[in-house]
Chains A and B, each alone.
Chain A
Amino acid sequence: MNQIAHLTRTILLLAFVIAVIGGVVYTRIAAYSLAPTMKPAHFQGLSLLQIPVVYIIDYLSHGWLCLLFAFVAAGLVYEFMPKEVITRYMSSNKAMGYALGAGIAPFFTVCSCTMVPLFAGILYTGAGIGPSLTFLLMAPSANILTILLTGEILSWELAGVRIVASIIAAVIAGLVISRTPWGKSVEKENQSSSPNPQAAIRTVKPPLDDRIWGAFKFGGYLAKQILPYFFLGLVAVSYVEAYLAEEIVATYLTGIGGILLASVIGGPLYTPTLVEIVLGRGLMDLGMSKAAMLSWLMGQPYDIPNMVATSRIVRWKVVLNYALIAWVFSVAFGLTYGVLTASL
């Protein structure tokens, strides 16, 4: 009896997952936009209170599927990623550390409360400052939620470029800092001489339906954390689109100056996750260049709460250093991208 109940639940939950994925695939085939479709001109004639309401209704009327998919996918990926891989191999050797930090780590860290502890853990188990920093920089700029929403709301091209650029920036920042004197001193303090402690882990795996349900619960938890800010962001975006003159955006957020400005304001804005994506959409509708947008998105790793949390584990010099490197890269990639795609 119990087994039948488990089986039915598993089937129902899987059906829901398939329905959500199917819905997203269908919108691709039907070329149906999941991003906000209102353009600045549509806001004319609306009153101050109507603007955010109309914008949010417009967004949700087709964006709900995209959000649902993003949170379901984030929950599932987090749940079914083999977590032992990272805890076991992260500190095995340097190259492996960098590869894992840049390649797999982003999938673990949809939530910032797992990111900084993992960073500390990687450092303290002796993986070295380089891979730890690669992990720390990679996690916020290319986690599963950000990539999905960047792709849906901004463009898949930008999402792709963002991943590649983040990997390069994160690995180089790790390599550079591990060679500086203060980076080396941090590494020396954290050299591990203890035997492999992994023997003390025997995780209990719950049945499949509980795991899928757990994944949904985690997705729901993320949604609860992120969506309030996301909606506040939408309200802000609706006013930006309605009142910010296109000339201002065209003057300040295009060209080389635009990249510099975007890279500086993008970071602090990151604080409430994902707002930078919606806001970016609004600004792009107003004429912000794609190159400036990339710098804007890459500014994340030096957002302020992240830096404060990290500085408690490593010293300030290291933090300032990686922030500087991240900033240089956000500008460099913005410029390169702008030149390559002729979209400065």
Chain B
Amino acid sequence: MKKVIAEVIGPNAPCHRCITVKETVQAVAQKLEAEGIKVEVKRLDIMSREVIRKYGLLLSPALAVNGVVKMMGWVPDKEEVEAILRDEAGKQQ
């Protein structure tokens, strides 16, 4: 089983766009789970010091996969999220 950690980074309380991103990622995660890719979806606060120490300055909403920020300041659709997650899972072979 391949495992991918997807972190959706946005402000607390979440704004509309960050909620959309998280829902998209969760929907894609469900789909990929059936194919043997386990996606762990987390939500991080963009204003917490730990997140900024780790990733630096980000535009909200941002999506990090396995510790690398893959997109920021933009709401991707399902196909884009799926491509990013598959790509990352493919590296684990």
Using a CB–CB cutoff of 8 Å, the interface residues on chain A facing chain B are: 78-79, 83, 86-87, 90-91, 108, 111, 113-114, 116-118, 120-122, 124-125, 192, 194, 196-198, 200-204, 206, 210, 214, 217-218, 221, 225, 313
Beta-carbon contact of B17 and A313 below 8 Å: no
Beta-carbon contact of B16 and A221 below 8 Å: yes
Q: What distance in Å separates the Cβ of A144 from its nearest Cβ neighbour in chain B?
A: 15
Q: List 26 A-B contacts (CB under 8 A).
A: A78-B73, A86-B57, A87-B57, A87-B58, A108-B59, A111-B17, A113-B16, A113-B18, A113-B60, A114-B73, A117-B47, A117-B60, A120-B46, A121-B57, A121-B58, A122-B57, A124-B53, A125-B52, A197-B55, A200-B54, A200-B55, A200-B68, A204-B83, A204-B84, A206-B80, A313-B47
Q: What distance in Å separates the Cβ of B78 from its nearest Cβ neighbour in chain A?
A: 12
Q: What distance in Å separates the Cβ of B58 from its nearest Cβ neighbour in chain A?
A: 6
Q: Which of B43-67 contact A (CB under 8 A)?
A: 46-47, 49, 52-60, 64, 67
Known interface pairs A87-B59, A206-B76; A124-B71 also in contact (CB < 8 Å) = no
Q: Which 6 residue pairs are nearest across A and B when measured between Cβ atoms? A: A113-B15, A197-B56, A121-B57, A124-B52, A201-B69, A120-B47
Known interface pairs A217-B75, A313-B47; A202-B70 also in contact (CB < 8 Å) = yes
Q: Which residue of A lies closest to B53 (CB)?
A: A194
CA distance A169 to B9 in the complex (A): 32
Beta-carbon contact of A203 and B15 below 8 Å: no
**Chain B residues, CB < 8 A from A192:** 53
Pair count A-B, CB < 8 A? 97
Beta-carbon contact of A125 and B57 below 8 Å: yes
CA distance A111 to B18 in the complex (A): 13
Most chain B CB within 10 A, of A108, A120, A194, A214, is at A120
Beta-carbon contact of A121 and B52 below 8 Å: yes
Known: A114-B73, A201-B56. 11 other contacts (CB 8 A): A87-B59, A91-B57, A113-B17, A113-B60, A117-B11, A121-B56, A200-B64, A204-B84, A206-B80, A214-B74, A217-B75
CA distance A210 to B76 in the complex (A): 9
Q: What distance in Å separates the Cβ of B20 from its nearest Cβ neighbour in chain A?
A: 9
Known interface pairs A124-B52, A201-B56, A221-B17; A116-B11 also in contact (CB < 8 Å) = yes
Q: What distance in Å separates the Cβ of A249 from its nearest Cβ neighbour in chain B?
A: 37
Known interface pairs A78-B73, A200-B68, A201-B68; A116-B56 also in contact (CB < 8 Å) = no
Q: What distance in Å separates the Cβ of A330 from its nearest Cβ neighbour in chain B?
A: 28
Scoring B residues 28 to 56 as 1 if CB is less than 8 Å from chain A, else 0, what string do you get?
00000000000000000011010011111
Beta-carbon contact of B56 and A204 below 8 Å: no
